[in-house]
Structure 1
Amino acid sequence: VSIAQITLRPAIAVWSIVATLAWIVFAIVFASRHRRALAVFTAQNGVDAGKQRRI
């Protein structure tokens, strides 16, 4: 086992964790900023789904 393999694996694990946390933070910030747009969007989808269910 080379030194590069020993040093790379933890780095990859750390980067994957950081990337996941970054996505979560981004999603929370985006949702909080665009909560109204999301609410309207989901409401429209709900209405569309309701119309399809009635038909």
Structure 2
Amino acid sequence: MQAATYFRLQLRHSQSNFVFHLNAEFLNHCFFISLQRGLPAFLSLFDWKGR
């Protein structure tokens, strides 16, 4: 009984870790995409004000 409970807790823990890892990867991916797309536009805004 004790071992089964422990195993269940471990399983739940690893599942939540996996989901967290996936979410982190997804957020990183979105962040880098928005950086690559947004940074040139952001810099061109400053460039336009500088002229």
Q: Say yes or no: TM over 0.5.
A: yes
Question: Shorter-chain TM-score category?
Answer: 0.5 to 0.7
* Number of residue pairs matched by the alignment: 41
CA offset at residue 25 of structure 1?
Answer: 0.5
Q: Give the superposed CA RMSD.
A: 1.7
Gaps of 5+ in 1: 44-55
Please show how residues 1-55 of structure 1 align to structure 2 within 5 Å: 1=2, 2=5, 3-39=7-43, 40=45, 43=46
> 5+ unaligned residues in a row in structure 2: which ranges?
47-51
Percent identity, aligned pairs only? 5
Regions of 4+ moved over 4 Å: none
Using the size of structure 1 for normalisation, the TM-score is 0.57
